[in-house]
Structure 1
Amino acid sequence: MVTISASNLMVALVQAASTLPAFFLSILAGAIADNFSRRGVMFTGQCLIASASIALTISVGLGFLHPWLILGLGFLAGCGFALNDPAWHASVGDILDKREIPAAVTLTSVGYNIVRSIGPALGGVVLAFFGPLAAFALAALGQIALPIAVWRTKWQVVSSPLPRERMATAIHDGVRFTAFSSEITAAIVRGTLFGMTSISILALLPLVVRDKLASGPIVYGILLAGFGIGAFITGMSNGILRRTVSENSLMACASGACAACCISLALTSSVAVAATFMAIGGAGWLITWTGTDVRVQLASPRWVVGRTLSIYYALTYGGMAAGSWIWGAVAQNYSLTWALLGAAGTLCLVAAVGIILPVRSRQEADQEASDFRAPQLAVDLKPRSGPIIVRIDYSISEKNIDAFLGCMRAKGHAFSRAGARNWTLQRNLQTPSVWTETFRTPTWMDFIRLNHRLTGADKEADKYLLALDDGELPPRTVLSIEQKTELARIHASTIAFRPPR
């Protein structure tokens, strides 16, 4: 793009074009990953990426290369990444135990950044000595290998006993769970702000190489290699860092490292200095993304992890796409130096956001779905029958009210995340010791899904409530179905006003 377009904005939009599809498609892709084979979703996404790479190679070979074609193929590859990423990262928990996820996420990032270190340097050499066609052809061969590798690799996944959800319902439940989880919300907000500001390093790097360093593709590869090496070294020491420094402080330092990288790129004309600070920026990049990714994974039960990850990626990639456009526009309308210094100042503000939205290390908890058997009913219900109203009465003495309210607060939060609608707690005005918990689900199948989604940790509140209840009998759950009367009234009026023969 640097060689065929004089527009700084078009150069920065290359990053935007490849990251924007994740903003629009990731949530749908997450719902698909939770309802269908994650391996199949990954394969489809990798095929889209390979198709974009092959099309770019053919275009270069035919001599037809236009800025908008580059952006279009980047967008197609971004669609592939949007499909692939939620399924890819959610599959980590399918293959490994929960406690192994932080190490697995870090190792995945380290492996990616090893390639980030070698690939751009090789690409710069190939581009300089053999031209763009050879570089794109080698890239296309690599992309073709990926869907083949996914197709050949198989792992066992525990299948759900329930039928697949409708896409609209699956997306709604994923958004609802994410909104009710403070841990996931904090990680998403921090990740989005960091992506919007730190993407300036990668989006403006081609301009830095051309304008500040007066160099070409080899230096560009060296700087990207420095970025990857910094991420690799940090990844290898990630466990030690997280044991000695709090998660929130570590992420604040990561934003500071990326700010220092931006300042260096804005002020230096030395390749060695720029590569050194690119390594520091790569370290901050890896710390932030592994930290937020792990937080989202550990806070998500398996039934919704694809959707929470997809929402996380949608917003963070959307932030990166917006940041690429913002900093490119600043560089276009003002100067490259002002764009990088502005990004550095904004990264310092992102570090301060941790005071308001801290991201803390999470204690290991049981996130696996518990066993549930549907109760016997006297009425024959279809899966789509509903709405279902659930009512549970408790008898609570005055001395236990504070503990009861605290426990019900936790239970209401857990049930609302899992799909309960209109959850309320009521106190009987005539018999003050009687408290009634009520909620509803749209259908009978939604009620069954709700109980399958509740984890062992979510159901801990029920054991505590049983101990607090001092009634003669344990709390009893009453299930009802809402019954409409309109049809009955229409039928009655038809009979009442039927004219005589």
Structure 2
Amino acid sequence: MQREDHQLPISATLAPFRNPVFRTIWTATQISSLGWLVQTVAVSWLMATTSASDLMVAIVQAASTLPVFFLSILAGAIADNFSRRWVMFAGHCLIASASTTLMISVGLGFVSPWFILGLSFLAGCGFALTDPAWHASVGDILDKRDIPAAVTLVSVGYNIVRSIAPALGGVIMAFFGPLAAFALAALSDLIPLSAIWRTKWQVRSSPLPRERMTTAIHDGVRFTAMSLEIRAAIARAALFGVTSIAIFALLPLVVRDQLKCGPIAYGVLLASFGMGAFIAGMSNSYLRRITSQNRLVAFASVACAACCLCLAVTSSIAAAAISLALGGAGWLVTWTGIDLSVQLASPRWVVGRTLSIYYALSAGGMAAGSWIWGSVAQNYSLTWALEGAALALLLVAVAGIVLPVGPREETDQESSGFHPPELAFDLKPRSGPIVAKTEYSIPEENIDAFLGYMRTRRHVQSRAGARNWTLQRNLQTPSLWTETFRTPTWMDFLRLNHRLTSADKEVGDHLLALHDGDVPPQTVLSIQRTTDATYASAEGRRRAYPAAMRT
């Protein structure tokens, strides 16, 4: 997929704001993020002052990211099968409940480290439910041409808030105490609830009934595993998450032990990180025009490595602020690039699930990284932990050679449109297995090209739900080739065909061009039956035999 922003001016970055629904939800989520980040500053500093364990301080990040690892895939299946608007509402209700409980507990003087971690985990569950639905809704709210800009705005918006919230959190902590910070967070969580309640957007509904959750999860995992582009992006995200989280996990220790400063300095440094991310976000369209996405993400990993290395050796708050601005730029460029790559490579029917798998593995990487670098800092030294993270980030940059991020060619991920064939008798949704056979007549000179397209066809059909895909050549008439696959039920066959995109359909067009028969290739559908079944009625006996229908 060639980058659409090659033809877009930098001002196109703000184009999604013309849509009032996107503008309202985006603004509400930034206000909620403001409160969340103020609360995160308060929690991190409260943990640093109430716990003597470096590991406990570092796993504050793990407490909020582990729920994403455990729940995101389920949340993605929910987002693809239910109203994404109401899924977002439910997630924000959970976040508001956790923040309110934390505010009350601090007000009552109960600040147990494990209780704080537990509530951070609960809020993380809310984010795990909300994020896949919100990011998948971007494609429902906006036209495809605005999706790259919208993904950038979502990341930039968060990092604009990141440039304000930490300093604000530090000031609130210093002058008003943690209770005020937690109260602000609890109030800010009410804003997205109001915005989601008031706004509505059109969702492209499926003509088919909802999938069972287990089936939806299985199909989402299968599609992701069989999509090379998405698989590479997610692997890169997990590696970057493990390594780059050292910046956040160890920053409270850098401020406390190396810089010998307090919460205001901590907030200022986080603001520097956010400002670097903001500048990178505003430049993102330009950067994507002058270099490939894969190279851009590699440079971003190098920038984060430089940030870690500087934090490991500096005792100057100014140098730390500059290095964190560089790290913030690398952080935003990486996550925006990977997020965009996953979104544009995913058809609408599965985008919530592919995004949720991406969130789960990147969050799992961050949770593991928080524990790893916290353990290194506690058992060896803070300097060793930061230097190790810097080295690992350089290796992640090199990993771009084997795990490239970014689209390879332009593909249309919209549904190709499918009309169910007329059958000789009624089938129930659970009837099956269904066998589909398509016969082609291929001249000898077209066989190599035919086999190449058939390899693509097998991949396309299998990731959409086809089972036992095979290609056979007729021994009596070598020019005849038969493509065969099965689906467990009739409903699975319908889902498979509704899932095929316009880009997938192009493979069939190429095969049709190679076909040399008098009539186009015909697909014959049969229902598989065993010979030992007993049917009491004539209708039952008739259905025991394969019934062939042409489409």
TM-score band w.r.t. shorter chain: over 0.9
Q: Which residue of 1 aligns with 2:6?
A: none
CA shift, 1:489, in A, is 10
Whether contact under 8 Å (2:229, 2:407) holds in the other structure is no
CA shift, 1:487, in A, is 3.4
CA shift, 1:97, in A, is 1.3
SS state of the match for residue 22, structure 1? helix
Query: Structure 1 residues 453 and 385, CA, compared in 2 at 3 Å: closer, same or farther?
Result: same
Q: Which residue of 1 aligns with 2:341?
A: 295
Whether contact under 8 Å (1:99, 1:364) holds in the other structure is no
CA shift, 1:400, in A, is 0.5
CA shift, 1:362, in A, is 4.4
Determine the C-alpha separation between the residues in 1 that align with 2:259 and 2:454: 62
Determine the C-alpha separation between the residues in 2 that align with 1:352 and 1:401: 39
SS state of the match for residue 488, structure 1? coil
CA shift, 1:113, in A, is 0.7
Alignment pair present for 1:90 and 2:130: no
Q: Which residue of 2 aligns with 1:494?
A: none
What's the CA shift string for 1:390-448, capped at 9, x where partnerless? 01111111100011111111111111121111111111222211111001111101111
Determine the C-alpha separation between the residues in 2 that align with 1:332 and 1:360: 38
- What is the TM-score normalised by the length of structure 2? 0.88
Question: Any stretches of 5+ residues in structure 1 without a counterpart?
Answer: 492-501
Determine the C-alpha separation between the residues in 1 that align with 2:452 and 2:145: 29
SS state of the match for residue 3, structure 1? helix
What's the CA shift string for 1:65-85, capped at 9, x where partnerless? 101001100100110010000
Whether contact under 8 Å (2:337, 2:406) holds in the other structure is no
What's the CA shift string for 1:1-49, capped at 9, x where partnerless? 0011000000011100100011110000000000000010001111111
SS state of the match for residue 486, structure 1? coil
Q: Which residue of 2 aligns with 1:498?
A: none
Q: Identity rate of aligned residues, in percent?
A: 75
Determine the C-alpha separation between the residues in 2 that align with 1:240 and 1:327: 34
Alignment pair present for 1:243 and 2:286: no
State the one-letter code of the partner of 2:435. I
Q: Which residue of 1 aligns with 2:245?
A: 199
Alignment pair present for 1:268 and 2:268: no
State the one-letter code of the partner of 2:95. I
CA shift, 1:482, in A, is 1.1
State the one-letter code of the partner of 2:135. H
CA shift, 1:365, in A, is 2.3
SS state of the match for residue 457, structure 1? helix
Judge which range, 168-177 or 136-145, deviates more: 136-145
Match of residue 448, structure 1, among 494, 499, 514: 494
Whether contact under 8 Å (1:92, 1:104) holds in the other structure is yes
Structure 1's consecutive aligned runs of 4 or more residues displaced over 6 angstroms after TM superposition are: none
Q: Which residue of 1 aligns with 2:39?
A: none
Give the alignment's Cα RMSD to 1 decimal.
1.3
Determine the C-alpha separation between the residues in 2 that align with 1:401 and 1:270: 68
Q: Which residue of 1 aligns with 2:212?
A: 166
Determine the C-alpha separation between the residues in 1 that align with 2:239 and 2:197: 36
Whether contact under 8 Å (1:49, 1:143) holds in the other structure is yes
Alignment pair present for 1:378 and 2:424: yes
Determine the C-alpha separation between the residues in 1 that align with 2:371 and 2:201: 40
Alignment pair present for 1:2 and 2:48: yes
State the one-letter code of the partner of 1:373. H
SS state of the match for residue 48, structure 2? coil
Q: Which residue of 2 aligns with 1:499?
A: none
State the one-letter code of the partner of 2:292. S
Q: Which residue of 1 aligns with 2:70?
A: 24
Determine the C-alpha separation between the residues in 2 that align with 1:361 and 1:449: 26
Alignment pair present for 1:129 and 2:140: no
Match of residue 463, structure 2, among 404, 417, 431: 417
Describe how 1:276-291 pairs up with structure 2 within 5 A.
276-291=322-337
Determine the C-alpha separation between the residues in 2 that align with 1:264 and 1:346: 15
Whether contact under 8 Å (1:298, 1:362) holds in the other structure is no
CA shift, 1:159, in A, is 1.6
Determine the C-alpha separation between the residues in 2 that align with 1:292 and 1:124: 31
Determine the C-alpha separation between the residues in 2 that align with 1:267 and 1:318: 28
Determine the C-alpha separation between the residues in 1 that align with 2:479 and 2:100: 71
State the one-letter code of the partner of 2:412. D
Q: Which residue of 2 aligns with 1:474?
A: 520
Whether contact under 8 Å (1:246, 1:361) holds in the other structure is no
Describe how 1:28-427 pairs up with structure 2 within 5 A.
28-427=74-473
Determine the C-alpha separation between the residues in 2 that align with 1:234 and 1:222: 18
Determine the C-alpha separation between the residues in 2 that align with 1:367 and 1:490: 47
State the one-letter code of the partner of 2:368. A
Whether contact under 8 Å (1:372, 1:452) holds in the other structure is yes
Determine the C-alpha separation between the residues in 2 that align with 1:92 and 1:189: 23
Determine the C-alpha separation between the residues in 2 that align with 1:429 and 1:389: 21
Determine the C-alpha separation between the residues in 2 that align with 1:133 and 1:380: 65
Whether contact under 8 Å (2:415, 2:502) holds in the other structure is yes
Query: Structure 1 residues 146 and 360, CA, compared in 2 at 3 Å: closer, same or farther?
Result: closer
CA shift, 1:110, in A, is 1.0
Determine the C-alpha separation between the residues in 2 that align with 1:22 and 1:490: 53
Judge which range, 381-390 or 417-426, deviates more: 417-426
State the one-letter code of the partner of 1:229. M
State the one-letter code of the partner of 2:192. L
Determine the C-alpha separation between the residues in 2 that align with 1:473 and 1:374: 21
Whether contact under 8 Å (2:338, 2:406) holds in the other structure is no
Whether contact under 8 Å (2:345, 2:407) holds in the other structure is no
Determine the C-alpha separation between the residues in 2 that align with 1:16 and 1:239: 32
Determine the C-alpha separation between the residues in 2 that align with 1:71 and 1:64: 13
CA shift, 1:490, in A, is 12
